[in-house]
Amino acid sequence: MERALAAYKAFRSSKALITFTVAYAVFTDQFLFAAIIPVAPFSLHTQIGIPEDKVQFWTAILLAVFGIAAFVTSVPWGWYTDRSTSRRMPFTIGLLILLGATFMLWFGNHIVAQVIGRLLQGFSSTVVWTTGLAVLVDTVGHGQIGEYMGYVGIALNVGSLIAPLLGGVMYQSAGFNAVFGMIVGVVVLDILLRFVMKEKSLVAEEDLVTESSDEVDLEAGKAERKTSVITVRPVRTDTMESIVDPGTASPRRLSGRTMSFPSRRPSDAPASPLAAVIQSWRATGITTSDCPLQAVEEKSSGDSTSRGDSLFSGDIIPSPEGSNGDLRASLHRYSLQPRPQHPPSKVPRILRLLCSTRMTVTLWSVLVLAGTFSGFQATLPLFVSSTFHWNATGGGLVFLPLSAPALVGPAVGKLQDRFAGSGRWFAFAGFAVLSVALILLRLVEHNNTGQKALLIVLLTLIGSCMPLALEPLFGETIYGADQIDLADREAGIVREGGAGSYGQANALFNMAWAGGCALGPVLAGTMIDHVG
């Protein structure tokens, strides 16, 4: 029974379940948004009574409201996520917002209720893309985020692909209530997953590593027991739960473990508390090569007390040369250093992120990517209907070549994680192919088999740009947050709250994505109306 309970607890906080939960939350968010798109033009007229000549106007307004809500709420929610001691509470609040949006859109019989429902839906999207992705980063670590973002990309594209098809089919076959019955079923599973999932908890506030040793007063001949205490500040178990020897694959776990130092004779008594720690690790089979500590300059015996106090009053923080590279390599550069206390930085982290040229370029790229693909959602069904005379089913299936390449997202992310610095080249290749394919779309003008085949090939090339660019762009967002946090740690700046800058970095990512989703359909529709 105890083994089964332990296995269940381990499953709740496993990488697989947390990744699936976050990916499914993204799928639910996209499903709720996209399933209503083919239904809205009919339901606005039949359920709410909007005149037919005003349906197109209000459809555009509702889509814009969603993007505006996601854009406006991103930064405040990112700030709250970073200040929260746990990701669970923000994620749970997101459930209430999601339920409110669903029922408001279902039972709201006035256009104001529909606008409020879309506002709540945009807020819910912010929770998923800000808190959910922060949970994912906390769980898988930096070294694998590219690969696991590939799974999120699959969920995003699957939701975009199947939701309009299922929404249209359910509306035609069973009516308006059946569409929302299906949506509620998807949301209920999302709720269950979020409650079953258990966030990787923080390591205990203070791990006390004690040494009980006999210190003999050589002059008086008396033995005195002395306890040395090392205070280790909390770190997340997913990022520092084990230390791995670079030459081996076997981890030696240290987190959550109390090591007592055996009593020694005065002849073998360690010269300093730091030496006691290293000596105890050696006694338990852990060598300094497993966890190298940066050498600490010994001071004279006259100030040994003050040296010991200052040495262990700080946190375990990375040495300056450990600011880049793989997480495992960074762990091997961790050192015990005194932490000077400085006042909190007066410049908000969100502004420090925006002042980074690298982050600005990343956010612009995200906006362009989101705007391009959302523009296809607004224009492609109308184009194939007018050019090839395809019906609603054909207009839905034409998105398959745009979405299918997302299946290679995890492989692209894994390559990005494996080869440092390769992300920018993947993104460059993605945008280069995207530019050429978009220009070649002008060749599709006539209704024949060759033109249809050309369209499918070009859409496949365009769809392949999403996994090539999305994973590296998200990795750049996380890198920007890491640089801000690392600079604060090295400066010894006192930080309020708990989880660093991931929430606010993800908020900027979500703002750029929401801005692209709001601008893409408007710009694409305007271009078609004026220049074709």
Q: For the chain, 532 residues long, give each residue's pLDDT as a single digit of tens.
A: 788 888 888 888 888 899 999 999 989 988 888 888 778 777 888 888 888 777 767 877 787 788 888 888 888 888 887 777 777 778 778 888 888 888 998 888 888 998 999 899 889 888 888 888 888 888 887 777 777 888 888 888 788 778 877 887 888 788 888 888 999 999 999 989 988 888 765 433 333 333 334 444 444 444 444 444 444 444 444 444 344 444 444 444 434 444 444 444 444 555 545 555 555 555 555 444 444 444 443 333 444 443 333 333 334 444 444 444 444 444 444 444 444 444 555 667 778 888 888 888 889 999 999 888 888 877 787 788 888 888 766 777 787 888 888 788 778 777 877 776 677 888 898 999 999 999 999 899 888 889 999 999 999 999 888 888 887 888 788 777 778 777 777 766 655 545 567 778 878 888 888 888 778 877 877 777 777 6
Give the tokens for residue 148: 């696991």
Same domain, 179 and 223: no
- Distance in angstroms (rounded) separating the CA atoms of residues 160 and 376: 12
- Distance in angstroms (rounded) separating the CA atoms of residues 141 and 241: 11
Same domain, 362 and 299: no
Same domain, 385 and 427: yes
Same domain, 435 and 324: no
Residues 6+ apart with CB under 8 A from 269: 213, 215
What does the DSSP 8-state code read for residue 272? S
The last residue of a domain, from among 284, 303, 336: 336
Closest CA to 402 of 488, 319, 460, 485: 460
Query: Read out DSSP for 327-351?
Result: HHHHHTTEEE-----BPPPSS-HHH
Residue with tokens 């555009």: 60
pLDDT for the residue numbered 261: 40
Number of folded domains that form the chain: 2
- Distance in angstroms (rounded) separating the CA atoms of residues 402 and 127: 26
Residues 6+ apart with CB under 8 A from 386: none
Helix (H, G, I), strand (E, B) or coil at 37: coil
The last residue of a domain, from among 278, 308, 336: 336
- Distance in angstroms (rounded) separating the CA atoms of residues 427 and 80: 31
- Distance in angstroms (rounded) separating the CA atoms of residues 435 and 438: 5
Cα 169 vs. chain centroid, distance in angstroms? 33
Here the contacts of 96-99 (C-beta below 8 Å, separation 24 or greater) are 97/123, 97/124, 97/127, 98/28, 98/29, 98/32, 98/124, 98/127, 98/187, 98/190, 99/187, 99/191
Check the CA dihedral 289-294-297-302 and report its sign: negative
Give a yes or no: residue 171 inside a domain: yes
Give the tokens for residue 67: 């993007």
pLDDT for the residue numbered 512: 87
Helix (H, G, I), strand (E, B) or coil at 241: coil
What does the DSSP 8-state code read for residue 300? -
Strand partners, 252: 243
Strand partners, 216: 223
Q: Which residues of 256-289 are buried (b: 16+ CB within 10 A; e: fewer)?
A: eeeeebeeeeeeebbebbbebbbbbbeeeebeee
- Distance in angstroms (rounded) separating the CA atoms of residues 37 and 374: 12
Same domain, 23 and 160: yes
Give a yes or no: residue 344 inside a domain: no
What's the CATH code of the domain at 187? Answer: 1.20.1250.20
Give a yes or no: residue 465 inside a domain: yes
Same domain, 523 and 422: yes
Strand partners, 208: 231
Give a yes or no: residue 343 inside a domain: no
- Distance in angstroms (rounded) separating the CA atoms of residues 117 and 110: 11
State the CB neighbour count (10 A cutoff) for residue 84: 19
Could you tell me the residue range of the domain that residue 83 belongs to? 2-200+349-531
Same domain, 425 and 506: yes
pLDDT for the residue numbered 326: 47
Give a yes or no: residue 342 inside a domain: no
Closest CA to 454 of 468, 442, 466: 442
Tell me, what amino acid is at 338? P
Q: Are 223 and 214 in contact, with CB atoms under 8 Å apart?
A: yes
Give a yes or no: residue 524 inside a domain: yes
The last residue of a domain, from among 311, 336, 361: 336
Same domain, 105 and 245: no
pLDDT for the residue numbered 237: 42
Q: Are 259 and 208 in contact, with CB atoms under 8 Å apart?
A: no
Same domain, 268 and 415: no
- Distance in angstroms (rounded) separating the CA atoms of residues 409 and 405: 8
Give a yes or no: residue 341 inside a domain: no
- Distance in angstroms (rounded) separating the CA atoms of residues 28 and 125: 9
Give a yes or no: residue 409 inside a domain: yes
Cα 76 vs. chain centroid, distance in angstroms? 17
- Distance in angstroms (rounded) separating the CA atoms of residues 17 and 197: 7
Residues 6+ apart with CB under 8 A from 199: 13, 18, 86, 87, 88, 91, 135, 138, 139
Query: Read out DSSP for 163-201?
Result: HHHHHHHHHHHH-HHHHHHHHHHHHHHHHHHHHH--PPP
Same domain, 123 and 247: no
State the CB neighbour count (10 A cutoff) for residue 439: 10
State the CB neighbour count (10 A cutoff) for residue 3: 7
- Distance in angstroms (rounded) separating the CA atoms of residues 161 and 491: 47
pLDDT for the residue numbered 303: 44
Same domain, 226 and 288: yes
Same domain, 140 and 185: yes
